[in-house]
Amino acid sequence: NAGVTQTPKFRVLKTGQSMTLLCAQDMNHEYMYWYRQDPGMGLRLIHYSVGEGTTAKGEVPDGYNVSRLKKQNFLLGLESAAPSQTSVYFCASAGGAFGRVTFGVETQYFGPGTRLLVL
């Protein structure tokens, strides 16, 4: 099992350009998450999904869009990149049964990250 993979590993954009980050997981997890990591600020949740076809906003969603068309993939889009979006982006996935309330907190498994520089 590859676990959680992210594509690309590194990208440089100019202000105003768009791009899509791809996250894939092979653990059949229902929940998927996108975080950004900035120095001194830990990880902040951008968007998340509780199952195929669902998305929800996290703590810092502005400037980002997401889609979960397939259970194993979670895409993060930047429509018009800004220098403030320079960051390291992490994807994570966690177990859960769609349509059934999960009373616990599933462990999140992380990808290796995508380093994005916006000039």
Question: Site residues (CB under 8 A) for another protein?
Answer: 4, 31, 33, 40-45, 48, 50, 56, 58, 90, 92, 94, 96, 101-113
Output 40 or 99, the one with its CB closest to another protein.
40
Output 56 or 80, the one with its CB closest to another protein.
56
Question: What is the DSSP pairing of strand 10-13 with strand 114-118?
Answer: parallel
What letter does residue 40 receive in the DSSP assignment? T
Q: Is the separation of the CB atoms in 34 and 91 below 8 Å? A: yes
**One-letter amino acid identity for 39?**
P
At 37 the three-state DSSP class reads strand
Shortest gap between Cβ of 16 and another protein (angstroms)? 28
Shortest gap between Cβ of 17 and another protein (angstroms)? 24
Scan for tokens 């993060």, then name that residue.
Answer: 76
Shortest gap between Cβ of 105 and another protein (angstroms)? 4
Output 85 or 93, the one with its CB closest to another protein.
93
Distance CA 75, CA 77 (A): 6
Shortest gap between Cβ of 50 and another protein (angstroms)? 5
